[in-house]
Amino acid sequence: MKPYDSGLTTEVIARAQRDEWLDRMLDNWSRWAAGDIGGPQAFTACASAERHYAIPVWEDEDHGAGDEPDELAGESLDIAWRRLPPPQRQVLQAVHLQWPLERVRAQRGCATRAADADRFRAGELRMPLALMLQTYSQARAALARLLRQGVMH
Largest CA distance in the chain: 64
**Per-residue confidence (pLDDT) for residue 51, from 0 to 100:** 56
For the chain, which ranges sit under pLDDT 70?
Answer: 1-6, 36-67, 110-111, 151-153
Angle, helices 86-93 vs 114-125, to 10°: value is: 130
Taking the chain, what is the end-to-end CA distance rounded to the nearest angstrom? Answer: 51
Return the bridge partners of 45, or none. Answer: 54
- Other CB atoms within a 10 A radius of the CB of residue 145 amount to 10
Q: In this predicted structure, what is the pLDDT of residue 38? A: 46
Q: What is the pLDDT of residue 146?
A: 92
